[in-house]
Amino acid sequence: MMSCHSIRPLLPARAEELTLFEARARAEHVATCTRCATEAAAYSRLGQALAAMANLEVEPADGTLEQVLVAIGRRRTAVTTPRVLAAAGASGALLATVVVARAVHHRRQARPARRPARARSGLPSRRLRLPSLPVPTPALARAK
């Protein structure tokens, strides 16, 4: 059996914090040592009292609850407003795009097709093809 000195570090631990070996060694020692048994029981009692602390509540200072409620109210507004604004902005942009597109479309349909500037001024279009003329070359000149 282990000595009091070896068991003492195990006394404050909860059963689930010990290995199987440690738990068995503690139980065997405590069963035969009154002093360590008293210590173990005191730690157990302390553990129960600490667990009971979870049910004790401190009253916060006046105004704490109100501040929390105001803060979460602001947060909810802050979360909601940008979303609403973003949705409204996207809808507006889409509507504006459709209106402009329709206006441009109507305008194009209402006007006759515009002639190119060069055609209106009487100048030949850059796209007119030149007649194929014989290019004077030294070989051609000799043949003539």
Partner 1 sequence: MEVDRELVEAAQAGDRWALEELVRRTHRGVYTCALRLVGNPDDAADVTQDVYLRVVRKLGGFRHEASFSTWLNRVTTNVAMSTLKRRTRRFAVEGAAVPADTRDPAPEPSERAEAVALARRLELLVAELPEGQRQVLVLRDVYGQSTEEVANAMGLTPGAVKVRLFRARERLKAELEAAEGGQVVALAGRRRATGRRS
Number of residues interacting with partner 1: please give it, by CB under 8 A: 39
Task: Check binding of 22 to partner 1 (CB under 8 A).
Answer: no
Q: How far is the CB of 91 from partner 1 (least distance, A)?
A: 22
Q: What CA–CA distance (Å, rounded) separates 23 from 7? A: 10
* CA-to-CA dists, residue 20 to 2, 38, 48, 140, angstroms: 15, 22, 22, 115
Task: Check binding of 76 to partner 1 (CB under 8 A).
Answer: yes
| Single-letter amino acid code for the residue at 77 | T
Contact at 8 Å (CB) between 30 and 36?
yes
Tell me whether residue 3 or residue 67 sits nearer to partner 1 (CB atom). 67
Task: Check binding of 25 to partner 1 (CB under 8 A).
Answer: no
- 127 is written with which tokens? 């796209």
- The one-character DSSP state at 19 is -
Tell me which residues in 85-114 interact with partner 1 (CB under 8 A): none
Question: 3-state class of 88 per DSSP?
Answer: helix
Pick one of 4, 15, 31, 46: the residue that binds partner 1 (CB under 8 A).
46
Of 62-70, 101-109, 125-133, 136-144, the window that binds partner 1 (rule: CB under 8 A) is 62-70
Task: Check binding of 6 to partner 1 (CB under 8 A).
Answer: no
Contacts with partner 1, residue ranges (CB under 8 A) = 9, 12-13, 17, 37-61, 64-65, 67-69, 71-72, 75-76, 79
